[in-house]
Amino acid sequence: LTEVYSSSPALGRYFRSAQVISFSNESSTIIYQLVFSVPPSTEGFIENSMNPDFIRNILRQNIYDED
């Protein structure tokens, strides 16, 4: 995750860290926390670039690109 987000053209400069919060072998589920340092009150930045779907799609696109 660190490599994916730190190399992202859209979010790389804001990305600070990724940390595993919880891991389950039974269900192959990982809960993680991403930390970003965002500019103060940039119009639309939080709503667009920090949108959970946008962040998830960056990871999804990276996975597709590796195939």
pLDDT single digits (tens) 38-61: 877 667 777 777 888 989 999 999
The pTM for the full model equals: 0.74
Question: Which residue did the predictor score with more confidence, 42 or 3?
Answer: 3
pLDDT for position 66: 82
Residues 11-33 pLDDT 10s: 899 999 999 999 988 888 999 99
- Say how far apart CA 4 and CA 62 lie, in whole Å: 7
Q: DSSP code of 45?
A: H
Q: Under DSSP, is residue 36 helix (H, G, I), strand (E, B) or coil?
A: strand
Cβ contact 51:58 at 8 Å: no
- Say how far apart CA 60 and CA 44 lie, in whole Å: 23
Residue indicated by tokens 């993680």: 32
pLDDT for position 28: 84
Q: Under DSSP, is residue 46 helix (H, G, I), strand (E, B) or coil?
A: helix
pLDDT for position 17: 96
